[in-house]
Amino acid sequence: MGSTAKRWKRFTPLFLLMIPGLAYLIVNNYLPMFGMIIAFKDVNFSKGILGSDWIGFKNFEYLFKTADAYIITRNTILYNGAFIVINTIGAVSLAILLNEIRKKFFQRFYQSIVILPHLISMVIVSYLVYAMLSSETGLINKSILPLLGVDPIAWYSNKEYWPYILTIVNIWKGIGFLSVVYLASIISIDPEYYEAATIDGASKWHQIRSITFPLITPVITMMTLLAIGRIFHSDFGLFYQVPMDSGVLSETTNVIDTYVYRALMNLGDIGMSSAAGVYQSVVGFVLVILSNYAVRKFSKDNALF
Amino acid sequence: MKRKFSWISAILVMLLLLSACNANTSSNEGASPSTSGGASNSSGTALEPYELTMAYFTFGSVPKDQLLIEEALNKITIAKLNTTVKLLPISFGAWQNQINLMLTSNEKLDLMAIFGNTYANQVAKGQLTELDDLLANQGKGIVEALGAEYANAAKINGKTYAVPTIRDLAQKYGFYMPKTLVDKYNLNLSQVKTLDDLEPILKTIKEKEPKLIPLVNSVSSSPITSFNTRDSLGDDMGVLLNNGQDLKVVNWFETEEYATVLKKMREWYLAGYIAKDAVTVKESKSDIFKAGKGAGTLAAMKPGFDVQEARQSGTPIVSVEMLPPVAKTSTVTNVMWGIAKNSKNPERAMQFLNLMYTDKEIINLLDWGIEGKHYVKVSENVIDYPQGVTASDVGYSGLGWLFGNQFLSYIFKGDDEKLWEKMKEFNTIAIKSKALGFTFDSTSVKTEFAAVTNVMTQYRIALECGALDPDKSLPEFIKKLKDAGIDKIINEKQKQLDAWAATNGK
């Protein structure tokens, strides 16, 4: 008995400290979840949300109605899947390279350079891309292609280039931030490991493969799992702003978020937009559980839960 | 390390304080006129004091003298109705979201501006108050000023939920160019009636001025967006041909007429009459003309158009009317006023709305600002900026077509003094679509509506700009529309239209 009271006394300040965070989480992340019912209702404001009629899965129909349903799902998964793989590989290599730079000044310098794009708004990025690709004034069409003797390309009306363009833009924008996350975990590795390895005569490559890599694997797994959870949510700015909302490109640039935006812009139906949100979140949730399960199979320590 | 941390926390605290300050000042600003108004209501009228909230959209930022206008307005409304009015301008880009939020969360809102394309939806969702009784009691002036035909144009299922503002209630379409080009190449626009007539002019421009875009289009639209001979019934999913002289709903994209126009646009695109990046253009027409990059464009026109356009693009223009004025539901219900379901006092809201259609003082205050400060009178009905004030630094200017009855507004110097008479005549002589007054309610087919909207954004502008080959893409477009369920929408529309026609004796 006495020990319980002691424990309470000891942990009460910690519980008190927890309250604001917990309250924030409940108010911001858990209470709104009840809003999910909107997706199954025909919302009528004069009746109120709770009083509106239940309509089952009718709000979800438009997501699966046309041939586009396949295209948007495919695009969303393939793009995000590719982004996860490429960004992770790129960011880890970049972090390792950054870590090898010995001069503090240069390390800081390169670090700032790679993280800079992360801070630029997508709308501005879209105009940077436009400055490159515009058919009337673009740098590539006006300066680079003529040098190579190639005819100008109408980038904004040819869909086949866009998988590459979007991937490049995404890497350019996202890799810096991710590599800083990895760099932080590399820096926290105890230098004694490397000293010991050097004494044993391990080469740089060996050190990276046998020390750095295994030690940051938990972070990689966590970041990847988090990304997988959002695989059905795509970066709206990237897919809407960067192609300049050009309809012709939709076969390779339309993803679930842009489809929903375009479909409901005039309709303004909150039931249908919630339906899209619920669909994305449920699929994301299932994917996280599955991939976490897979990770557990391989190594229990690396799993999120 | 410690030092660094304290620095960071100091900055954070500063930021917090700053944002708190901001929130404070803005709420204070919002509240002050109303409280002062509420305190000084000793005018002896029998009405209870009430504060109306009036939401409307603005383009660009909120004018810097907004609060002065509100104060001046409240002086009038307290005397007349024992009411204060809180003006709530919302920027155009955020309008839809914010108004939806206000309506959903039951915020205080009485009067609100309404766009034609969301009207039916807002009614279906029960967000608007029925106005018929209010109009008959408190809003007689509105019906009188609008005229019965136009006042009825906004009815849904026989009931009125919003009233159109009084402005140009019809549209005509035509072509215009900067005057310098017309003079330089001795072009004769007066004979241009069809797209074919336009071709030689575009050709001349392309040959003589290769740096100019002969036919400019605006953002997210095509050159022929502003050239139409049909009644779109609001959304182009099922239209009435020949300006709605016949009540048969057809699929516009399947018509011979559409195919012919697309073929023409493709020719023009390949010939370079339409910009190569027309599909992704991000500059407004007037910006393109201002920059001296455009030669001509098709546009929706109204009396006084030439002066207005010249003012915007900074160069005199010559225009020609190619299609006569037509009034359709969409041209009338474009901009309207309604009373939100949230309103605690719809009668008072209607009384104030009535003033916006009948009271010259209020209208001019909202349209032009305060006399002597934002404008001066040149003659009885004509105004100009005060000395030393220009269009770019005037403290207030409102959207004339938004605040009720524009015909009671002063005429700005440079405009035709008879502008409003001409506009009235324009509204009267306009061809009326037989479906004028019919508004389609898409809620029963909203799944299809969403899917079709997506297909349209995918193909339409690219086809109409000529960037896609219609021989190949038009059949594809039509097939996708059908897959998305456009026929179901057309059937539903025809059904609603027939029912409407039967009750209205058309």
The domains of chain B are located at 33-168+329-438, 171-301+441-506
Q: What is the DSSP letter of B231?
A: B
- CA nearest to A112, candidates A185, A179, A188, A212: A179
ipTM over 0.90: no
pLDDT at B37: 37
Burial of B443 (0-12, 13-18, 19+ CB in 10 A): middle
User: In the structure, what pLDDT confidence band is assigned to residue B287 with cuts at 50, 70 and 90?
Assistant: confident
Residue A304's contacts (CB-CB under 8 Å, 6 or more residues apart) are: A221, A222, A225, A288, A292, A295
Contact list, A259 vs chain B (CB under 8 Å): 454
**Dihedral of the alpha carbons of A47, A48, A51, A54, in degrees to the nearest 10:** 100
Closest CB to A268: pick one of B121, B279, B454. Answer: B121
Distance CA A236, CA A18 (A): 34
Nearest CB to B451; choose among A62, A246, A247? A62
Closest CA to A266 of B159, B116, B218: B116
Nearest chain B residue to A253 by CA distance is B458
A268 touches chain B (CB under 8 A): yes
Contacts of A279 (CB under 8 A, 6+ apart): A60, A63, A232, A256
Instruction: Look at chain B and count its residues.
Output: 506
| A62–B447 CB contact, under 8 Å | yes
How far is C-alpha B492 from the chain's CA centre? 27
- The answer, yes or no, to whether residue B405 has pLDDT greater than 60, is yes
Segment B482-504, tens digit of pLDDT: 998 999 999 999 999 999 999 88
CATH superfamily to which B171-301+441-506 belongs: Periplasmic binding protein-like II (3.40.190.10)
Give the integer Cα–Cα distance in Å for A55 and A44: 12
> Among positive and negative, which fits the CA dihedral B385, B389, B392, B395?
negative
Q: Which two tokens stand for residue A23?
A: 């309250």
Domain boundaries, chain A: 45-302
Q: Are strands B411-412 and B335-339 parallel, antiparallel or unpaired?
A: unpaired
In whole angstroms, give the CA distance from residue A153 to residue A140. 9
Q: What span, in angstroms and rounded, lies between the C-alpha atoms of A40 and A59?
A: 7
pLDDT at B13 over 60: no
Contact list in A for residue B100 (CB cut-off 8 A) is 268, 270
Closest Cα in chain B, distance from residue A298 (Å): 41
Distance CA B445, CA B452 (A): 11
Residues of A in contact with B484 (CB under 8 A): 65-66
Residue with tokens 């500059």: B283
Task: Write out pLDDT tens, residues A32-67.
Answer: 888 889 889 887 766 777 888 888 888 888 888 777
3-class SS of residue B223: coil
Nearest-Cα residue of chain A relative to residue B129 = A46
Give me the helices (H) in A37-103, please. Answer: 61-64, 68-100
CB < 8 Å to A245, chain B? 220, 280, 457
Contact yes or no for B369/B395 (Cβ under 8 A): yes
B111 touches B352 (CB < 8 A): yes
User: How far is C-alpha B233 from the chain's CA centre?
Assistant: 16
A158 touches chain B (CB under 8 A): no
Nearest residue on chain B to A249, judged by CA atoms? B458
Helix (H) or strand (E) holding B178: strand B171-178
Q: What is the per-residue pLDDT across B330-349, written as a single tens digit (0 to 9) for each? A: 899 989 999 998 899 999 99
CB A233 within 8 A of CB A75: no
C-alpha closest to that of B145 among B422, B425, B348, B404: B404
Is A134 an 8 Å CB contact of chain B?
A: yes
Preferred mutation among A52, A60, A66, A274 to probe B, highest tally of B CBs within 10 A: A66
Nearest-by-Cβ selection for B460 from A130, A247, A270: A247
pLDDT at B38 over 60: no
Q: What's the confidence (pLDDT) of residue B8?
A: 58
Facing B103 at nearest CB: one of A45, A259, A265? A45
CB B114 within 8 A of CB B336: yes
CB contact under 8 A, B277 and A156: yes
- pLDDT tier for residue B44 given thresholds of 50, 70 and 90: very low
Q: Give the pLDDT score at B325.
A: 93
CATH architecture of the domain covering A45-302: Orthogonal Bundle (1.10)
Please list every residue in chain A whose beta carbon sits closer than 8 Å to the beta carbon of residue B442: 267
DSSP three-state, residue B108? coil
- Sign of the C-alpha dihedral computed for residues A55, A56, A60 and A62 taken in this order: negative
Interchain CB contact of B118 with A (< 8 Å): yes
What is the C-alpha to C-alpha distance for residues B415 and B312, in angstroms, rounded to an integer?
A: 13
Q: pLDDT-derived band of residue B323, with 50, 70 and 90 as boundaries?
A: very high
Query: Under an 8 A CB cutoff, do B121 and A269 touch?
Result: yes
Note whether B366 and B408 are within 8 A (CB): no
- For an interface test with B, give the residue of A42, A44, A49, A65 to mutate (most B CBs within 10 A): A65
Mean pLDDT across chain A: 88
Pairwise pLDDT comparison (A83 vs B7), residue with the higher score: A83
Taking only the tens place, the pLDDT of each residue in B407-443 is 999 998 888 888 999 999 999 999 999 999 898 888 8
- Segment A263-282 shows an average pLDDT of 82
User: 3-state SS of A248-299?
Assistant: HHHHHHCCHHHHHHHHHCCCCCHHHHHHHHHHHHHHHHHHHHHHHHHHHHHC
Q: 3-class DSSP state for residue B237? A: coil
What fold does the segment set B33-168+329-438 form as a domain?
D-Maltodextrin-Binding Protein; domain 2 (3.40.190)
Higher-scoring residue by pLDDT: A174, B47: A174
Does residue B17 surpass a pLDDT of 70? no
- Interface contact flag, A266 B117, Cβ < 8 Å: yes
- Could you say which of B235, B282, B458 has the minimum Cβ distance to residue A247? B458
Q: Minimal CA–CA distance to A152: which of B280, B470, B209, B276? A: B276
High-pLDDT (> 90) share of chain B, %:
50
Tell if the CB–CB gap between A267 and B282 is shorter than 8 Å: no
**pLDDT computed for residue B26 by the predictor:** 39
Q: Which of B278, B35, B336, B394 is nearest to B156 (CA)?
A: B336
Terminal Cα-to-Cα distance of chain B (whole angstroms): 82
For A:63-122, CB contacts with B below 8 A are 65-68
Instruction: Report the SS3 class of residue B288.
Output: helix
Amino acid code (one letter) for B422: K
**CB contact (8 A) between residue B446 and residue A267:** yes
- Write out pLDDT tens, residues B177-231: 999 999 999 888 888 999 999 999 999 999 999 989 999 998 888 999 888 899 9
Helix axes B470-484, B256-271, angle to 10 degrees: 140
Cβ–Cβ below 8 Å for A157 and B468: yes
* SS3 call for B335: strand
Contact between residue A62 and residue B450 where contact means Cβ atoms under 8 Å apart: yes
User: CA of A85 to nearest chain B CA: how many angstroms apart?
Assistant: 30
- Residue B78: per-residue pLDDT: 92
pLDDT category at B472 given cuts 50, 70, 90 is very high
CA-based angle B80:B82:B83, to the nearest 5?
100
